[in-house]
Structures are given as C-alpha cells and as structure tokens.
Amino acid sequence: MGKKMTEHVEWTGKIDWELKTFHGHELSTHRGSSYNSYLVKGEKTALLDTVWGPYRKEFVDNLQVSPGLDKIDYVIMNHNEPDHSGSLPELMKKIPDVPVYCTANGEKIIRGEYHLDLNFHVVKTGDTLDLGDGVVLTFIEAPMLHWPDTMFTYLNADGGILFSNDGFGQHLAANELYADTADESELYYEAMKYYANILNTYSPMVTAKIKAILGMNLPLSIIAPSHGLIWRKDPQQIVNKYLEWADAYQEDRITVIYDTMWNSTRRMAECISEGIGEASPGTTVKVMDASVADKNDILTEIFRSKAIVVGSPTINNTVSYAIAGLLDMAKGLKFKKKKAAAFGSYGWSGEGCKVVTGFLKEAGFDVVNDGIRVMWAPDQAALDSCTEFGREFVKAL
C-alpha cells in the first residue's frame, strides 16, 4: 500500500524482495529491487510511473483502494522500459481516457511495446503540468539516461523533488523508503553497481544533464528514483558521486581476472597479484575467477580499478567463454583511462594471451605490454616470472 512521503507526495510502488536478475539475466540483483511509483497531489492527482508487469494486479488494486482509480487525473511516464511501464496496460484498461504524459520517444516505446493507443500528451524540457494548489510539475528530457525516452519530472512543492527514474537508483529492496536509513556500504555498493553496469556507457550525457539541471538552480530537498531508496538527507551526495563516477572513475585498485581449466592460469593469476602487491603495497588487489564470480560484480570491480590484468587458457585457438563474454560486456560499458595486460597458459598453439590483448584493446583499455604466457603447468621459474610480471605491470601504470 501507499506510504506518505511529504505533504503532496505518496509512494505507491512495489518492493521486490525476490528479484535476483534483471534485464533477463544480464544484470544480477543480489539484494532485490523496487519499482517506485509516486502519486503527486494538488487539486488534481498525477501518478508517476508504474511497476513491473508481474505485479500489475496488486499495483492497480492498491490504487483502486487509495486514492481510487477515478482520482487519478494524469499518468506521467518518465521512462517506459517494462520494469516501469509493465503495469500500464492493466491500469489503462481501467482508466483509458486519462492523459499519459511522456516524451515523443516514450509514446513510440509504449506503442511499440504494448500496441496501445492512449491519450498521449507529448512533453519536452520545460513543459509544465499544473496540478492546482500551487503544485506544478516540470518535465526535463534526459535522453539516453539510459533509454531514448527517459525524462525526469521536477516538483516545485515540498522543498523541490526530482523524480529521476533510473538515475540515482539502486537495485536494493528495503521496507524503509529512504537512503539515510540504509546500511551505507550496501547502499553505495548497489548505487555504484547500477551506475557501472547500466549508466557508465552514457557518462558524457550524465555529466551534461547534471550540469544542466544544477544550472537551473532549482531548490532540491529530495531525489526520488524509481529503484531502491530515496535520497532525502543531503540529496546532493548522490549527485556529487555521479559527477565523480561519470569522469573516468578509478580508485587505487587493480583487478586480476582469469579463467582456468586445470589451474595453470589460476596459479599465474595468483603470482601476478602477489607481484602487484609487492610493488605497490597500498593498492587494493582483487583476484576474480570470471567463470564463477558474478559477471556484474566483476564489471563493478573493473569500474573501480585503475588497471586490470586478464588471463585465459588457450582453448580451441581462442579464449574461454567467460573471458570473451566479460570483455565484450566491458566493451559495451566504455570504461575510460584504464590500463591493462593479458596472460594465460597453453599446451600447444597458445593464442589465448594474444586474443585477450586484442579484446582488451577493442574494449578501450590501454594495454601496456604483450602479456605473459606459460606452456603447460607453470614450474617455479614460470611462477617467478609471473610475480615479476606483476611487479613490472605496476611500473608501467
């Protein structure tokens, strides 16, 4: 059921404790998620966004109870990916004439996804919707944050509230609505994972949009995203984080990522990480097996790292499925200003290291050397070479 947030705003979304993957299986959501929908009330009432389709019945039933479907005067769709628009068809069956406010691309997506002919009102940046009683909503287009239809909606009342949809969100289920009630490390890990895996590729647009909004000098007491917790205490904190994350973010971290068939590449990875640690004791070094670690957690580690070292055994003249898939995902996410190198064991043809190097270059990493490869199982001399390789890698950064 709904939860009152401020004088004019009520949360009416769905907390999804069960969700373990999102975007099909592209993104892991270890801590569930929520689909935040909001009611904004002046003399008229607007509903902002809906919830994912599997929850459509309870969502519409809740609205029937409060405020009553006949009390919804406007529907505003900030973004029409199915996690936010999935309940729209069920809702609009009940209130077919209510105007639906969205961007031009939003209308195209609703028509394309649901084949619905609704009472569309297409809006652009700066357009407003007056709900009466001094309550005014202003629309701000935010294309490619992260879909072409995305927009934010700003409420002038209650100190200023920015409804930012996916922006500033986290996949994090919690009964408490607000970020200031959360475990801070969980909250920021999930916010960062969300940014790294969904928004990083659009970082130039993130920076430009945030600067444009800051330039509007709007009062801001709350940022209310459509996933996870709402930023009520110092909402500027997540804006500042986004500006940092969008600017080729990196920490003093190096991640060693490998796949292995018979442990040779794993032993190389461990020695390389030891060499890195010896040469740079202050650097956090993490070692991750790409075939067993969660791919989105690895990508989050890459996002945080200043450099990565990636290894695969040679398999059928190329590299493992896990390494190829991971580096292709990294390519799509367009990480910037990160150094890299490759390694791997082999039995005869030995292309793996070279293939990884090629993938790293294609994904935009600055590859600092030709990598290191070891034939068959590494003996002590080979392991020592890997440790030395780790030390030398640090010198090349």
Site for ligand FEO in 127-146 (CB under 6 A): 146
Site for ligand FEO in 153-192 (CB under 6 A): 166
Q: Which residue's Cβ has the minimum distance to ligand FEO?
A: 81
Contacts of residue 334, Cβ cutoff 8 Å, sequence gap at least 6? 200, 201, 203, 364
The answer to whether the CB of 164 falls within 8 A of the CB of 235 is: no
Nearer to ligand FEO, 147 or 231 (CB): 147
The answer to whether the CB of 310 falls within 8 A of the CB of 353 is: no
Six-digit token pair at 179?
Answer: 């970020």
| Phi, then psi, of 9 in degrees rounded to 5 | -130, 140
Cα–Cα distance for residue pair 120/74, rounded to 1 Å: 10
Site for ligand FEO in 195-254 (CB under 6 A): 226-227
Cα–Cα distance for residue pair 214/315, rounded to 1 Å: 51
113 SS3 class: helix
| Phi, then psi, of 143 in degrees rounded to 5 | -60, 140
Nearer to ligand FEO, 31 or 79 (CB): 79
Residue 346 C-beta: closest distance to ligand FEO, Å: 41
Residue matched to tokens 């809006």: 123
Nearer to ligand FEO, 34 or 387 (CB): 34
Is residue 14 a contact residue for ligand FEO (CB under 6 A)?
no
Task: Concatenate the DSSP letters of all residues of 276-316 into one string.
Answer: HHHH-TTSEEEEEETTTS-HHHHHHHHHH-SEEEEE---BT
Task: Concatenate the DSSP letters of all residues of 313-347 into one string.
Answer: --BTTB--HHHHHHHHHHHHHT--S-EEEEEEEES
Cα torsion through 239, 243, 249, 253, rounded to 10: -40
Which one of 81-89, 252-260, 282-290, 353-361 is the stretch in contact with ligand FEO (CB under 6 A)? 81-89
- Residues annotated as catalytic (active site), given as ranges: 23, 79, 81, 83, 146, 166, 194, 227
> From the list 38, 147, 202, 245, which residue makes contact with ligand FEO (rule: CB under 6 A)?
147
Nearer to ligand FEO, 105 or 314 (CB): 105
Residue 252 C-beta: closest distance to ligand FEO, Å: 32
Nearer to ligand FEO, 230 or 256 (CB): 230
Residue 239 C-beta: closest distance to ligand FEO, Å: 19
Nearer to ligand FEO, 107 or 259 (CB): 107
Tell me, residue by residue from 35 to 74, as one string, x for binding to ligand FEO by CB under 6 A and - for no binding: ----------------------------------------
Backbone dihedral region for residue 48 (phi beyond 0: left; psi -120 to 50: alpha; all else: beta): beta
Give just the sign of the alpha carbon dihedral 235, 238, 242, 244: positive
Nearer to ligand FEO, 146 or 267 (CB): 146
Site for ligand FEO in 84-103 (CB under 6 A): 84
Cα–Cα distance for residue pair 142/164, rounded to 1 Å: 9
Size of the site for ligand FEO (CB under 6 A): 9
Which one of 77-85, 131-139, 280-288, 343-351 is the stretch in contact with ligand FEO (CB under 6 A)? 77-85
By the criterion CB under 6 A, which residues form the site for ligand FEO? Answer: 79, 81, 83-84, 146-147, 166, 226-227
